[in-house]
Amino acid sequence: MAEKSFSKYIKRLEGSDKAELRYYDLLALAGDRLDRLPFCLRIFLESCMRNCDDVEIGCEHVEALLDSSKKAEIRFKPARTLFRDLTAIPSLVDFASARDTIESRGGDPTLFEPLCPADLVLDYSQRLDSGRSEAVAKRNEKIEFLRNKELFQFLKWAGLAFKNVTMAIPPGLGVPPAIHFEYLNRIVINEDGLIYPDSVLGTDPHISMMNGMGILAWGLRGIEIESILMGRSVAMPMPDVIGYKIYGKIGDLVTSTDIVLAITKVN
């Protein structure tokens, strides 16, 4: 593959006492135009620069973001994806089947990997089989594991077999939005010394809650997320960006998520 078009904008992060960190310098590329670019579109811009291969993502997609007044098509590759059990299972079965095919033809099946990291949170399949007891939660979890033993064995295998399946959370630990919000968010991704903003596309309907932490996130259908695992980008028209300025002081029990959801409700 040819050298990426924007590799000359990779700069060293100054003042770091850890290993040498590098990043894509948006200011060096955009200059004064960066001041007029909303923060969320800057994440799109950095992603396009980092993933530009002059095939699927080209210089024209970067230029379209810098001139956001034009309603051009842009491309986006998230830092990672999030799956619930209902959508993770078909995708992982597809990847496992592809590995079987590669092995049957004499190839190395371990070379076939998701190209985008995927987090799995399994919860929505759990049913209520037992009630009226203080131990009802543990009892239902035990029944769930016995009922779907082969499924959980497969998912555990997938979490170990695929390097880019970064987490497999079993039932009983919490619903996907809470698990993702509290444990799986990265804020900043460090990929062999190259750092860039965390972003996630997922199949959970509450995935947009992550915007409350400054992480660009929204939901897609399962087949679209699977295409991202295969290395494809998401094509979309230039989004309209609405700015909010919030005055006053929030209450002690109000979180950034509450603010984001309130703004979303207004829109």
Express each pLDDT in 243-267 by its tens digit: 888 888 888 998 877 887 788 787 6
Q: Please check whether residue 40 lies inside any domain of the structure.
A: yes
pLDDT at 207 > cutoff 70: yes
Residue 170 burial (C-beta neighbours within 10 Å; 0-12, 13-18, 19+): middle
Phi-psi region of 208 (alpha: psi -120 to 50; beta: other; left: phi over 0): alpha
Residues of the chain above pLDDT 70, percent: 88
103-to-10, 99, 153, 166, 230 alpha-carbon distances in Å: 39, 6, 21, 23, 19
Distance CA 10, CA 104 (A): 42
Please compute the mean of the pLDDT values over residues 81-105 and round it to a whole number. Answer: 87
Residue 264 lies in a domain: no
Instruction: Based on the fold, state whether residues 216 and 228 are members of the same structural domain.
Output: yes
Give the domain extent around 35.
7-76
Task: Say whether pLDDT at 49 is over 80.
Answer: yes
Cα(91)–Cα(114) distance, rounded to whole angstroms? Answer: 10
Q: How far from chain centre, in Å, is Cα 201?
A: 4
**Total count of domains within the chain:** 2
Q: What are the beta bridge partners of residue 200?
A: 80, 217
Residues 85 and 174 in one domain: yes
Hey, what are 45's tokens?
A: 């811009």
Q: Hey, is 250 helix, strand or coil?
A: coil
User: Of 51, 76, 101, which residue sits at a domain end?
Assistant: 76
165-169, 205-209, 223-227, 242-246 — which one is most confidently predicted on average?
223-227
Neighbour tally for 102: CB within 10 Å: 15
